Amino acid sequence: MTTIPTSIGLEQAIAKPSVASSGEQPDLAWDFLQKNYDTLLAKQGPQFRDQFIANFMTNFSDDGHAAELAAFAPAQASSGGRVMTARATETIAISADLKARALPAVDAWIGARK
């Protein structure tokens, strides 16, 4: 399992969107954010709580992570956080639906060309 080196500062770790996007390590980054949430919030401020977590979670495209975001109490702690969480869970649901509909068609198309 890949870990974030301790020599990397917290700000540097969360400032690397490629850790979660581009298929790199979104689950590792999510684990890190959950475990270090209080420290990150103290250093980043209320926008971290209200926007960053919800925006970060849109790197996922499955109902399980949408449920995790909805259940993550800090993301629901303010009205701004609740709005951003609702938007993010909708985005994740749309991505999950697209993935469920498109991947079988893509697999069939690739299979027909082998």
Which pLDDT score, from 0 to 100, does residue 22 have?
A: 60
Distance of CA 31 to the CA centre of its chain: 10
Higher-scoring residue by pLDDT: 82, 23: 82
Number of alpha carbons in the 13 Å side-chain half-sphere of residue 88: 27
- The pLDDT tens digits of the residues spanning 6-19 come to 445 555 655 555 55
Give the pTM: 0.77
Q: Classify residue 22 as exposed, middle or buried by CB count within 10 Å of its CB (0-12, 13-18, 19+).
A: exposed
pLDDT at 49 over 50: yes
- The pLDDT tens digits of the residues spanning 58-109 come to 999 999 999 999 999 999 999 999 999 999 999 999 999 999 999 999 999 9
